[in-house]
Chains A and B, each alone.
Chain A
């Protein structure tokens, strides 16, 4: 899971 950089902003 940590390898996928999720964009946590709108």
Chain B
């Protein structure tokens, strides 16, 4: 739900402020790739209505966000591709593909794609955090958006702890990816919490 909330928060921000300054479209592009790699089983595996519905929502909303930021005025007029410049193609996609192949539990396309999507998701926030560091001042709704993006994976970790003790569920790849992903947020969370605590605007060092 936190993940869904972060997407809805971003959609609301784009519609309300009609601007995507401070928002990284490259991060959304990474997430679109993550979802496409991971949700291929939509075509051949039915787990539950909830599971299928959420996969469709995540894929469609992410592509819609990209469309808004890249091609739909007035939002796209405020998008600066030179500022949002983290070269994720070689820095993130490459290593995720290699790691996905090496660490896949079995060398089948779905498993390799799933594993690569876990590694890619764990670092997909980087373009967003780097863009915010350049801008330093973080607008309120953007701060909430990034905070929920960091929080959702932390709640997966809590669920993984529960599932390990309740049903012996083991998911080494997911666990490691989740720890990396949450770890990348820790310093943002610190500044976000401080800005909330002291009631000041969020400014990154």
Contacts and interface: CB of A to CB of B under 8 A. Distances in A.
Interface of A: 5-10
Contacts of A8: 47, 51
Interface string B53-88: 011001000000000000000000000000000000
B181 to A, nearest CB: 14
A5 B142 CA distance: 38
B3 A10 contact: yes
Contacts of B45: 6
B45 to A, nearest CB: 6
Contacts of A10: 3, 51, 54-55, 58
Contacts of B3: 10
Contacts of B51: 8, 10
B105 interface: yes
Contacts of B55: 10
B54 A7 contact: no
A10 B57 CA distance: 11
13 contacts: A5-B105, A6-B45, A6-B47, A7-B38, A7-B114, A8-B47, A8-B51, A9-B156, A9-B174, A10-B51, A10-B54, A10-B55, A10-B58
Interface string B89-116: 0000000000000000100000000100
Contacts of A6: 41, 45, 47
Nearest to A10: B54
Nearest to B111: A5
B199 to A, nearest CB: 35
Given A6-B47, A10-B58, 10 more contacts: A6-B41, A6-B45, A7-B41, A7-B114, A8-B47, A9-B156, A9-B174, A10-B51, A10-B54, A10-B55
Q: Which 7 A-B pairs have the closest CB atoms?
A: A8-B47, A10-B54, A7-B114, A6-B45, A6-B47, A10-B55, A10-B51
Contacts of B41: 6-7
A5 B51 CA distance: 16
Contacts of A5: 105
